[in-house]
Amino acid sequence: MNFLLKEFYDVFTDNGREVRAFFSPGRVNLIGEHTDYNGGYVFPVGLNVGTTVLIRKRDDKKVLLYATDIKKVVEASLDDLESYKDIEWGNYQLGVIHELLKAGYNVGGCEMLFCDTVPHGAGLSSSAAIECATGIAVYSMFNDKPIDKVELAFIGQRAENKYIGVNCGIMDQFASSMARKDHGLFLNTMTMEYKYVPLNLGDYRILISNTNKKRGLADSKYNERRSQCEEGLQALKKALDVKCLGEVSVEEFEKHKYLIEDDIVRKRVEHVVYEDERVLSSIDVLEKGDLKSFGRLMTQSHESLRDLYEVTGVELDTLVEEALKIEGVLGSRMTGAGFGGCTVTIIHRANIEEFKTKVGENYTRKTGLKADFYVFEVGDGVREINL
């Protein structure tokens, strides 16, 4: 941390005032994909990479932002935060400050340095890490009692929805805020009920493979899938008293799926309903310490995302196919929106280097792209850290 403090003073000079530091992790969703906007279940974990922010108060109403990888200072006024929505960098941070003000919390001028260790563009939620780190840092500098971390997650989501204009669900911010070391976070996105599930990996590790494919289709296809799910829900409502697909059981779906006349829409709904069931099964097997069964459920999730939801693509499918050929792999699946981004794999630590070599070579041979591989630990959520 000393090197960050030195860079802070290089940028903002040392005026003798207290500098504090906060951290918020990136996240990966282990299972429960494309269920969050359907009121279903998700199971993310926090990672030991994320956003670190150093912060110091000012005497005026200016907010100064600096990132270690961008090397420029953005200056904004608390009196006119609405006018910074479209700036190239810093709008996520200013959006969170804007939401803190709207929620009635004390906010003042400050200087902030950001250091990001989440791989950008990998779908590991660097934006949520930035939002939650900003939120806890600014709140903690100007308010006495600790912030409610569920409220912090909603502030980050509102900033992204209303200030940035990205229609994200709550999972990313919730995981970044609420994660717990060596535990998965089981969340019902309709009721916001959650619980921590021990993730006893032993000699196994979480390995993330990045396709490095630009996700040009992701936004349009994401919106298309959302509308298809809504269409399927409306058809099922003819027989079921439900608010979202997350309330539809497998039995109810099988009994009433004939109401969904469009074959493609029926496939989308089938994925969501059975994916929710897989998340529930995952919690059950993990609570029994059965990692092998969890790995099988992960792979089944990928197959459903490939065949029913159709959001994988050749790059993600190749990474999963090649992963499953490696000894020591319990399961592998795409994670995130799809059409690029990452896969997540549970693998024995003794086989990690073989995985990187063989999967990397075969992926490049089949796709012409070079994959990146990361091995992460499961870490805690947003918190203050020592300088």
Catalytic residue IDs: 172
Give CA–CA dist 262/228, Å, rounded: 10
Token pair for 339: 């059409």
Residues, the chain? 387
Give CA–CA dist 351/356, Å, rounded: 9
Q: What three-state secondary structure class fits 21?
A: strand
DSSP 124: S
**DSSP-assigned beta bridge partners for residue 216:** none
- The pair phi, psi for residue 211, each rounded to 5°, is -65, -25
Q: What angle do CA 106, 117, 19 make, to 5 degrees?
A: 40
- The pair phi, psi for residue 213, each rounded to 5°, is -100, 130
Q: What three-state secondary structure class fits 287?
A: helix
Give CA–CA dist 383/235, Å, rounded: 44
* Best CA proximity match to 109, nearest among 70, 143, 148, 76: 76
Question: What residues have CB less than 8 Å from 304, skipping those under 6 apart?
Answer: 270, 271, 274, 275, 278
DSSP result, 353-381: HHHHHHHHHHHHHHHS---EEEEE-B---
Q: How far is CA 275 from the centre of its chain?
A: 18
Question: What residues have CB less than 8 Å from 19, skipping those under 6 apart?
Answer: 5, 8, 54, 55, 56, 387
Which residue in this structure is represented by tokens 């996240």?
27
* Best CA proximity match to 273, nearest among 50, 40, 44: 40
* Best CA proximity match to 213, nearest among 367, 335, 96, 344: 367
Q: What three-state secondary structure class fits 262?
A: coil
Count of CB atoms within 10 A of residue 353's CB? 10
